[in-house]
Structures are given as C-alpha cells and as structure tokens.
Amino acid sequence: MKRRWWAVLVIGVTLAGIIMSGCNKPAERAVSNSVKKRVMFVSIVTGGVAWGAAQKGFEDALKELDWEGQYVSPMQANNTAEVVNLLETAVTNNSDAILGVILDTEQVVDVFTRAREKKIAIITCNTYTTPQLQDCWIGTDPVGMGKAQAQAVLDNFTGDNITLAYIQTLLTVPTQNQQYEAMKEVLLEKYPNAVFVQDQCDSNAQIAADKCAALKKSYPDLNVIVCADGYGASGVANFIESEKYKDEIAGIGIDDSTEMLGFVKQGIMRCTIAQDFYTMGYQGVMMAQEVLEGKKLPFDNDSGTITITTDKVDAHFALLQERGLVNQN
C-alpha cells in the first residue's frame, strides 16, 4: 500500500508540473522579449547636420531600449536604387523594424510589401509612402513647413513683388513638393503676381550655388531664395555671400548646422528653419517599439520646426550642445 501511495503522489506531482508549465505563458513571453530587437535605419546619406542628428537620436534610443541596430546609407547620396538594396538586406536578415527615408514610393512597393508580410515594423523619417506600405511616419509636416517658409519670406521681404527660387533635394520628393505648394499658396495671397521657380541640388552645396547663379541670370529680378535641402542651403549662402547679394536677395535656409547658424548670425541668410532630425531618429525607434507591441499609431507624426533668426542663434546653439550634437568648446 505504501508503494502504491508513493507512486500516485509522484505521478500527481509530475502531472501538476506539466500542467503548470503549459499554462505559464507570461514566462515564455518574458524569455522571448529578452532577445534584443534588431532595427535597420536606411537613410539617404550619412553625416551632415540633418541626418547626422537623426543617427544620433536613433542610436540614443537603441541604447535606452538595449536594442541592436545599424544606420546605413548608399555610397552615393540620394541614390534610390541603393536604398532599395539596403532595404532588401534588412528584409532578408529578418530585422524586427525598419526606419527608412524614401524618396521614390514606387521603387519600394515590392520590398515594403514583403516586409509587411514578415510583420516587420516600418517607420519612415521625414518622408512617407502610403498607409498600406508602412505603419506610420515621423518628420516635418510638409504643409506646416511650407507655411513656415512662407512666413519667413513675409517677415524678411519688403519689396513690391517676389521672384522666388525654391531649391530642393530632388524635384521628385513628394514632401518637398508639398512644402513648395503650401508656401506658394500663402505668398500668392499677398503677392498675386509673384514668380516662382523650382530647382534641385541633389544634396550638393556646389550644385546649389551653381543653380542659384544660373537662375539669377535667367531671372534678373530674383530676390528670394528658399532652400529645402540642408547641404544645398550652404551653397545658397555661399552664392549670396560671394556675389554680395546679402541686401538684394532674402535667403531662407533650412536646418541648424553650425555653418548655417553662422550665416544667419552674419546676416547673409535672413533666417533658417530647423527640422528636429534628432527627434525623428529617437522617436522613430520608440514608435517601432509600440508597433511591435501591437499598438496602432497615427500615420502622420509631426516632429516640428523652429525658425531661427539672428537673435535666436545663441539659444539654439546651446540646445544643440545639450543634445551632444556640437562640441561644448
């Protein structure tokens, strides 16, 4: 009898352990969640004030979450074919999330569709495709940026009529075209006879300077230049400075490189409009975390802008130091 009682007890304890282990789902999820998530940030360029800040925000967020990640970009800036190849790598390697900068939606339809099938979280920064191809995006609201650019022109131009050149990265970038149209709409209310011309600089300062020189010849009345590309804005400033057009042409820059802030402080550019690229990179990772947790986020997420005039340069520079984006010296 004692042996039978002991056998029954052993079997009972064993069955109880099996049942309890089968019900212990939270413990299983804890083990699964202990594996570090992997994120690839596929950008269009490495370095520079804008995407350099985005990379810093991205890496700070990875460190905070204890995730693994890599920031990559094409060998040639803005090369969309190379961007697609890098996205293919992220999908093939089964990344948990992708942060991307997409200049051509049509080129990424296939790779993003396959990423969605694999349940990879897709967040884009300062560009976007469609809600069908990605979870959400964070960046500068294009309409808001266009209105900010228009207001900057109105605040810094006092002539009778505007002849304005708009220098952007590529003429195919949807968000920049939206900015341009929103800016035009506001300016035409006050200057119905204004002349507008768009051109591109391919994120190259020298190309931007050369384009400005050519446009000045084609449009002798050119009196406003608005730039939507961080590298191009330096070229615009160099053109205005070298040709001594500081008083004749109102230059509206973009982003907050120390060089651009210097141009503003000297009055070569009337102001610059900073986009918060650090927040794009940082919050992009945090949004990916929420998506992977099953949360539904708004598709549009504005990271905001700030117009920096001469009197605001020093305070903004202090903010960049605080974020570790410029040297403390």
pLDDT for res 49: 79
Question: For 258-315, what is each residue's pLDDT tens digit?
Answer: 999 999 999 999 999 998 899 999 999 999 999 999 999 999 999 988 899 999 999 9
Where b means 16+ CB within 10 Å and e means fewer, 291-313 reads: bbeeeebeeebbbebeebbeebb
Give the position of tokens 């570090």: 36
Check for a shared fold between 37-139+277-298 and 142-275: yes
Question: For 168-181, what is each residue's pLDDT tens digit?
Answer: 999 988 889 999 99
Inform me whether the pLDDT recorded for 222 exceeds 70.
yes
- Banded pLDDT at 47 (limits 50, 70, 90): confident
pLDDT for res 315: 92
Provide the whole-model pTM.
0.72
Contact present, 126 and 100 (Cβ < 8 Å): no
According to CATH, what is the number of the domain 142-275? 3.40.50.2300
Domain 37-139+277-298 fold: Rossmann fold (3.40.50)
Residues near 26 by beta carbon (within 8 Å), at least 6 away in sequence: none
Listed by start position, the domains of the chain span 37-139+277-298, 142-275
- Banded pLDDT at 27 (limits 50, 70, 90): very low
Q: Span 235-243, mean pLDDT?
A: 98
- Helix, strand or coil, per DSSP, at residue 113: helix
Residues near 249 by beta carbon (within 8 Å), at least 6 away in sequence: 222, 223, 224, 225, 240
